[in-house]
Structure 1
């Protein structure tokens, strides 16, 4: 049985698993309570960040690499593209941009503004993070001018990656998506696989509900 350790970016992994119809179990990891007390998790990932994937003796701790692993190990799947697909380059680019260019910079900005000492919250790094996010978002919206999804006409794992990042910016940085980006997220999150992933991630679902209640 595949085990996913932690939600957060683990939501990407759960969504991929749901779309592929693969059985899994989710093991909660509460970083706010102090991961140093979760010895079972630290035995899986001594670095103490989430998510982690345990598949037999295989352990992985990077969400995009995990998505690629699942597609390769348990495919073939229409969620992945190969060199023979016309959208292969775009698929790879946006699969990785979802973390490297979008969610990663947003995370730095968000934790700075939420957790840094007073006087350091709106620092240079926090501002740069959102500048990087917005520049990469421009590439996403340009892609949406020619196709409904990141790699063309069909939904792929690249859309799981990018959708998570765009929602992360909305939910943590208060970024307002507009136009094509807003419509894109509405389209990708209308999928049954997304709904099942939300049901499978109770902490994420409760957090999103609390944000909606505060709005």
Structure 2
């Protein structure tokens, strides 16, 4: 059985969502954040970097959300949340799945950290431009689609959810109505509702 190490308000919620959506057996080990909003030292006993999500499955230990999503899908999904192998849609989906953390996450996270400091300092103009470019890219993709690949929810949507949650938390979606509507559709998924009911919301509550 997969053991999922899940830090509060973290990327691990993506994996809980997939496991719940597949009704796959798993053990959830939950960790609270420290008073500095960091991961506790206990996670380093599981993975040297103290990362969450991390899964254990027998002797296998895996970190990195996209890798874990692919692993769970291959083990339990029977193709449910991915386009058919060998198709054009398969590779487009793979590109979106990797895009979330390789390109989109950086400007969102830097902007969020800057705003959370609360000192009124402006965000670096290069980061502002990058954020606008990447949100515009996602906005265009979901303008006329329910989800990234069309009418069907996929792993790429689950991967995207966490960064969109942080963008909303950081008030970055004011010029992205289609992303806001897309985020509402993601939250309406029954698997998402079960996951957040079990492991908490993706983003912390607003103060």
Q: Report the counterpart of residue 4 of structure 2 in structure 1.
A: 4
Higher mean C-alpha displacement, 75-84 vs 41-50: 75-84
Which residue of 1 is the match for residue 171 of structure 2? 174
Distance (whole Å) between structure 1 residues aligned to residue 22 and residue 126 of structure 2 = 36
Instruction: Report the structure, 1 or 2, having the larger helix content.
Output: 1
In structure 2, the residue matched to 1:106 is: 108
CA contact (8 A) 2:41 2:50 kept: no
Residue 49 of structure 1, CA deviation: 2.8
User: What is the correspondence of 1:11-160 to structure 2 with a 5 Å cutoff?
Assistant: 11-33=13-35, 38-39=41-42, 41-115=43-117, 122=122, 124=124, 127-160=125-158
Q: Extract unaligned runs of 5+ from structure 2.
A: none
Instruction: Give 1:33 deviation, angstroms.
Output: 4.7
- Inter-partner Cα distance in structure 2 for 1:52 and 1:128: 32
Q: Could you tell me which residue of structure 2 aligns to residue 199 of structure 1?
A: 197
Whether contact under 8 Å (1:98, 1:164) holds in the other structure is no
Provide the residue aligned with 1:165 in structure 2. Answer: 163
2:181 aligned partner: 183
Post-superposition CA distance 1:34-79 (Å, at most 9, x none): 778634x212111123221112211111111111111122231321
**TM-score if structure 1 supplies the norm length?**
0.80
CA distance in 2, matches of 1:201, 1:138: 30
Alpha-carbon offset, residue 102 of structure 1: 2.1
| 1:142 shift after superposition | 1.8
Gaps of 5+ in 1: none
Task: Give the TM-score, by structure 2 length.
Answer: 0.83
- Ranked by relative contact order (alpha carbons within 8 Å, sequence separation 6 or more), the top structure is 2
Paired residues, number: 203
Q: 1:87 touches 1:152 (CA, 8 Å); kept in 2? A: no
Following TM superposition, by how much is the alpha carbon of 1:190 offset from its aligned partner in structure 2, in angstroms? 0.6
